[in-house]
Structure 1
Amino acid sequence: MVHIIHRVGIKAAVQEVYQALATTKGISNWWTKDTSGASEIGKTVVTRFHTLEGNEVGSMQFEIQGLEPDKKVHWKFLEGPQEWMGTEVIFELHQEEDYTIVLFRHINWAEEVEFKAHCSMKWAIFLLSLKQLVETGAGKPSPNDIKIDNWN
């Protein structure tokens, strides 16, 4: 198995970062505006991605596996790109001085493939959107995210 791992520091209280990761409203403000579902353990969330013109380019459904307030958010993907089936995303949080450190892991990819490289770059962009959201009040969720190639 292979994994995507990123680390980002956000100059804010851990509670603010947790809320942005653990709620559908929060997710819609940094990952994709089209987010729906229940932010509870065992429930599912659906995210849809669109072009600026409104055309859907992809969607994912994940189950909330774990919510540890101000410490951890854990998702498992149930629907979406074939490469994502059964993968999990874990956000671990801790405070270091003025920063909340987010250790992000997208784990259990079956193999190293070009799509994983694309997703790693996009996760980095969305983590910077999370940072921007919490630090300034406005992130850049899809469809307003930075486009990196012809796959988005």
Structure 2
Amino acid sequence: MIANVKNQNFYRTITVNVPAGEAMKKISQVNHWWAKNFKGKAEKMNDKFTVRFGETFVDFQVTELVPDKKVTWKVTDCYLHWIDNKKEWVDTEVVFEISSKNNSTKIDFTHIGMVPGIECYSDCEQGWNGHVTESLFKLITEGKGMPE
């Protein structure tokens, strides 16, 4: 049973009262909810972008895009300065799956490869909780996120 828990990818869900297309648009505005230091684009298939936090950086490529339904960002390179395995996120994937019912849109966020037991899990869990469940949520619902 414990082995199964350790293999669970990081996952969070938020529900917002906006159309799926609006939610997808806000997700792609990375510099408005995650990182002010953002270069590139996260809007179309094969777009590439980088987020930076001081010494730390993460490079992504959009590897899957289903309009108003799903977007996947693959980590192509990274440097996580505060942990020993500075490349721990390389080849992990960040996935947003969107579903709508009536006036409600559910966003399922999964970081595939970020599982309990990896070096950054505790810090990264706190980061994603703030960025997704607070900042992205506020960007979508109030028009202003809280990027770092």
Q: TM over 0.5, yes or no?
A: yes
Give the superposition deviation at 1:72. 0.5
Give the superposition deviation at 1:44. 1.3
Q: Which of residues 6, 10, 15 in structure 1 aligns to 2:12?
A: 6
CA displacement 1:90-143 (0-9 Å, x = unmatched): 00001133321110100124761351122122111111211101111110011x
**Residue 40 (structure 2) pairs with residue 37 (structure 1):** yes
RMSD, matched Cα: 1.7
**Residue 50 (structure 2) pairs with residue 46 (structure 1):** yes
Gaps of 5+ in 1: 50-55, 143-152
Residue in 2 that maps onto 1:95: 100
CA displacement 1:23-68 (0-9 Å, x = unmatched): xxx111001111111333223111112xxxxxx1411101110111
Find the residue that maps to 1:141 and give its secondary structure: coil
Residue in 1 that maps onto 2:140: 134
- Residue 75 of structure 1 aligns to which amino acid in structure 2? W
TM-score norm. by structure 1 comes to 0.79
**Residue 66 (structure 2) pairs with residue 68 (structure 1):** yes
CA–CA distance in structure 2, aligned partners of residues 11 and 111 of structure 1: 31
CA–CA distance in structure 2, aligned partners of residues 70 and 18 of structure 1: 6
Find the residue that maps to 1:75 and give its secondary structure: strand
CA–CA distance in structure 2, aligned partners of residues 71 and 19 of structure 1: 11
After TM superposition, which residue ranges in structure 1, 4 or more long, deviate above 6 angstroms?
none
Residue in 2 that maps onto 1:27: 30
Give the superposition deviation at 1:2. 4.1
CA–CA distance in structure 1, aligned partners of residues 107 and 47 of structure 2: 23
Percentage of identical aligned residues: 27
Return closer, same or farther for 1:110/1:93 CA change in 2, 3 Å cut-off. closer
CA contact (8 A) 1:21 1:73 kept: no
CA–CA distance in structure 2, aligned partners of residues 99 and 57 of structure 1: 38
**Residue 123 (structure 2) pairs with residue 125 (structure 1):** no
CA–CA distance in structure 2, aligned partners of residues 115 and 12 of structure 1: 33
- Equivalent pairs, count: 133
